[in-house]
Amino acid sequence: MFDFFLVNLKFLFILVSIGWCCMMTVVIICGAGLAVTFWALCDSVKQVKDQILIFKPQLGDITSTLDSLQPLIKEMAQCEKEMDGPEEELENLRVEMEEGVELIRKCSEASRFKKYKYGSRLVELSKSLQRLLEILKVQGIRDVKKALVSVRNIENVVHRIEGNCVIQNNQSEKIEGWCAVPEPPTITVGLDLPLRELKMKLFKDGMSMVILTAPGGCGKTTLATKLCHDAEVKDKFKSNVFFVTVSKKPNLYLIVKELYHRTGAQVPDFQSEVTAVSWLQQFLKLTGQNPMLLILDDVWAGSEFILEKFDELKLTNYKILVTSRSAFPRFGSPYYLECLNRKDAMALFHHAASLGDRSSYISEDLSTKIVERCMGFPLAITVVGRSLCGQPIEIWQKRVMEWSRGSSVLESEHDLLDCLQSSLDVLYAEKPLMRECFIDLGLFPEDQRIPTTVLIDMWAELYGIHEDISSIANLYELASRSLANLVVTRKDNKDSDGYYTEHFVTQHDMLRELAIQQLSQEPLQHRMRLMIDICGDNLPMWWKEQKYQSLIARLVSISTDEEFSSKWQNLQLPEAEVLILNFQTKYYALPESVEKMNKLKTLVLTSYGISPAELNNFQLVDSKPNLKRIRLERISIPSISRYPIQLKSLKKISLFMCSIGQGFGNGSIHISEAFPNLVEMNIDYCNDLVELPPQLCDLIQLKKLSVTNSHKLSALPEDIGNLVNLELLRLRCCTDLSELPGSIRNLKKLNLLDISDCFSIKELPEDIGELCNLERLNMRQCSRLNELPSSVLNLEQLKEVTCDEETEILWEPFLPFLKNMHMKAVKEDMNLNWLHKAHC
């Protein structure tokens, strides 16, 4: 009977609230001009909402706001009175809506790679509409203040009755509400070790906040809930545990009020953020007498201000666990939750699919194939298992068959897609270009590390990101949002010297499928990105049928396996600006269509075979008017040097794990004639390189020369001093290199010299002091150096010397005279990652 009364009282409260909201809409009045413009904007958004997928998040927000405005605008259009409000601001909003109609039109007509530029303008339009909604609401609120006081009184009565009800039912330790700890999960697998590690990190002295991070669907909330119900946690924090779901739009006011409500204390009334922070501080001081654990669950990027408010208080005796898809590194070292291993994944799948006693008709092999496709993602395993639960075996077999033909789990499991897609929607709303960078990661072969240098070359030409450091910053941003992993294998990985050859990107297969799903949304003939994966000689059906003679893709990635015979059918790609070719065969031929790719700017050739591959028709790239960047990995240079080519526009060439031999000495290619305007040359892990060809010194436009991890390189050309425009010379880890030529003194523009890990160098050139612009010198692990030439005193521009403890001693006599120089001594780190990678 008491519950029935409480329900009816709540219903009465709702009716009163709705009644006064209706009164608010009746008193809102506006001129006809704003209403007409409003309906025009509604029509524009409606026409393009389902057509422009790239703007789906922004258009969704705009549509939601327009739906909220619609009943208010209808009331205004029916009323002839003037609104008692800020007419000038409403007129400004009318103008902004007219501009919004024009903006929607431009978005619908823009090319695929220019659309992202309109993202921020759509966000501003959405904010303008939100302001209009607030203005209209304020007008109604002014006339119903007294009624709201009555509503609040009813609400207080309901709260008191609810509180008495809780006490009467003896549930004071588990008040149902926003801050209540969720019920423990019915089943958890693979979380015992993460739970132990998380507790160790959380309980560590001096650690007040821990970020638990992973992509969506990996079990962060489940682990946080399991933590709350852990016996050791309960013993430490007693009942002083609070669980707050923050989500995408955090509200500090609501968080503070609910914290008070959760403890049964009187809920404060405040109007400003400053007051809210003050009340939060009082709350933490009040509860801080006993240990407290606060879980901030599902905190999204852009919500750092919430964490800042808690972090700035600097109170003791409380711990905060934040679960998020973002790492928030400035709040401490995050804890990364890994996906499930095979054993735990199978256990979770058996539970989700309710196999149990009925598992006899579902073979273990069939279950294994399904679990493998879920790639250890707990949410994927759960939703797939539930969708197959109780289904005939033919449904299971069909699902596996579809996946084997290239279908994605995301295509059939919409809950999983929505979970992962939400991360991209938020990313696009904040940083549209970052979403494009994420999608680009899906163009590379599965389970292969992506060299960051490839991405740097791509993005420089596609998006105009010409600073390498900006591309690396984008990758760190994606990594912080759990959308990619950035792996650095170099020993001194904290040096920001522009050396990114040993930086790689990896991505969970489920996230890669998400990227592929994004680029596949548009019809083939309209795609700006084209990815083709060829098994044997089985070309895609649309290609074999020549259904599309010409495609407009700007970024093209083609992968073939060891069975491919290099028999290309005609495919015209006249708009291609970036071409990525991945192959596994010993002999390879470029597609004939390369000859007509006159807009090509970046060419990436990667062999995944055991030994360097030979190219049969490299001359197809000859005279490409816009080709600026070439990267070759595991390619036989002699096989391409026999073709005479000339690339006047080429600015950068990178050779990674290539077979050099005498490729640049005996072939038809003369470097200075083939690449007359080359500015940057990188040679990495080329183990058969004994000496650099003398003709390299004719590249007088060269500004950057990097030769690293080429262990057989024993000498540099005597005329290297002819490279008078050289600004960077990197000779990192050339272990057989015994000396630097004396002509190096002619490199008057040299800014950075890196001879780190050159163990065999016994002395520096006597005239090294003539490098009048040298600012940075890295001579770490040059263990055979016994002394420095006295001319180092003339290095007046030298600002930083990186060395180890041994070479640091060599500089001590000169330090009093080099006042502006900073010594950066690095302890020896026996990191042999480079050794593994050099032979992989």
User: What pLDDT is recorded for position 462?
Assistant: 92
Distance CA 734, CA 756 (A): 9
Distance CA 502, CA 491 (A): 9
CB of 477 closer than 8 Å to CB of 431:
yes
Angle, alpha carbons 830-831-834 (nearest 5°): 135
* Mean local confidence (pLDDT), 680-701: 92
- What DSSP element (H or E) covers 363? none
Q: Which residue has the higher pLDDT, 466 or 81?
A: 466
User: What pLDDT is recorded for position 120?
Assistant: 65
Confidence check: pLDDT of 723 > 70: yes
- What DSSP element (H or E) covers 819? none
CB-based burial label for 109 (10 Å; 0-12, 13-18, 19+): exposed
User: What pLDDT is recorded for position 287?
Assistant: 62
Written as six digits, the tokens of 603 are 């060419």
Q: Name the region of 133 (left: φ>0; alpha: ψ -120 to 50; beta: rest).
A: alpha
Q: SS3 helix, strand, coil % of the chain, rounded to 5? A: 50, 15, 40
Distance CA 704, CA 729 (A): 6
Helix ranges (DSSP H) in 264-413: 273-287, 304-313, 342-352, 364-374, 378-388, 393-404, 409-412
Q: Which of helix, strand or coil describes residue 417?
A: helix
Q: How far is CA 608 from CA 486, 582, 654, in A?
A: 21, 7, 17
Confidence check: pLDDT of 64 > 80: no
User: What pLDDT is recorded for position 707?
Assistant: 96
Residue 545, amino acid: E
Confidence check: pLDDT of 553 > 90: yes
Q: Are strands 241-247 and 704-708 parallel, antiparallel or unpaired?
A: unpaired
DSSP string, 197-258: HHHHHHHSTT--EEEEE--TTSSHHHHHHHHHT-HHHHHHHTT-EEEEEEESS--HHHHHHH
* Mean local confidence (pLDDT), 123-147: 57
pLDDT tens for each residue of 780-799: 989 899 889 999 999 999 99
Residue 34, amino acid: L
User: What pLDDT is recorded for position 529?
Assistant: 94
Confidence check: pLDDT of 510 > 60: yes
pLDDT tens for each residue of 733-768: 999 999 999 999 999 999 999 999 999 999 999 999
Q: Which of helix, strand or coil describes residue 296?
A: strand
User: What pLDDT is recorded for position 322?
Assistant: 92
User: What pLDDT is recorded for position 819?
Assistant: 83
Written as six digits, the tokens of 736 are 């057989």
Distance CA 26, CA 79 (A): 9
User: What pLDDT is recorded for position 765?
Assistant: 93
pLDDT tens for each residue of 1-41: 434 333 343 443 343 343 433 333 333 334 445 666 676 77
Residue 176, amino acid: E
Written as six digits, the tokens of 464 are 């105009």
pLDDT tens for each residue of 414-427: 888 888 888 888 88
Q: Name the region of 219 (left: φ>0; alpha: ψ -120 to 50; beta: rest).
A: left
Q: Which residue has the higher pLDDT, 164 or 376?
A: 376
Confidence check: pLDDT of 728 > 60: yes
CB of 510 closer than 8 Å to CB of 380:
yes
Distance CA 688, CA 151 (A): 83
Confidence check: pLDDT of 615 > 80: yes
User: What pLDDT is recorded for position 495?
Assistant: 66
- What DSSP element (H or E) covers 51? none
Q: Are strands 503-506 and 450-451 parallel, antiparallel or unpaired?
A: antiparallel
Q: Which residue has the higher pLDDT, 600 or 247?
A: 600
Sheet hosting strand 318-324, strand order edge to edge: 241-247, 292-299, 318-324, 209-213, 335-336
Written as six digits, the tokens of 767 are 């005239």
Contacts of residue 92, defined as CB under 8 A and 6 or more positions apart, other chains included, come to none
Rg (CA), the chain: 32
Sheet hosting strand 503-506, strand order edge to edge: 450-451, 503-506, 485-488
State the number of CA atoms in the 13 A half-sphere of 343 facing the CB. Answer: 2
Q: In Å, how far from its chain's centre is CA 302?
A: 14
Confidence check: pLDDT of 164 > 80: no
Distance CA 456, CA 461 (A): 9
Closest CA to 355 of 381, 383, 386, 377: 386
User: What pLDDT is recorded for position 254?
Assistant: 76
Q: Which residue has the higher pLDDT, 492 or 252?
A: 252
Helix ranges (DSSP H) in 27-170: 32-48, 56-78, 87-109, 119-142, 145-168
Q: How far is CA 21 from CA 15, 35, 158, 436, 549, in A?
A: 10, 20, 20, 43, 60
pLDDT tens for each residue of 626-664: 999 999 999 998 888 888 889 999 999 999 999 987 766
CB of 436 closer than 8 Å to CB of 550:
no
CB of 476 closer than 8 Å to CB of 516:
no
Q: Name the region of 375 (left: φ>0; alpha: ψ -120 to 50; beta: rest).
A: left
* Mean local confidence (pLDDT), 717-724: 94
* Residue appearing with tokens 């024009």: 102
Closest CA to 756 of 739, 777, 780, 729: 780
Average confidence score pLDDT of the chain: 80
Quick one: angle between helices 414-430 and 378-388, nearest 10? Answer: 150
Q: How far is CA 495 from CA 87, 498, 778, 798, in A?
A: 57, 8, 10, 17
| Total Cβ atoms within 10 A of residue 697 | 20
* Residue appearing with tokens 């903006």: 103
CB-based burial label for 305 (10 Å; 0-12, 13-18, 19+): exposed
Q: How far is CA 479 from CA 298, 504, 719, in A?
A: 17, 12, 44
Residue 318 phi/psi, 5° resolution? -140, 150
Contacts of residue 786, defined as CB under 8 A and 6 or more positions apart, other chains included, come to 762, 763, 810
Closest CA to 450 of 575, 608, 618, 213: 608
DSSP annotation of 490 reads: S
Q: How far is CA 729 from CA 118, 278, 723, 821, in A?
A: 41, 56, 10, 20
Q: How far apart are the first and last CA of the chain?
A: 74
* Mean local confidence (pLDDT), 237-256: 79
- Read off the pTM: 0.70
Written as six digits, the tokens of 500 are 């990114």
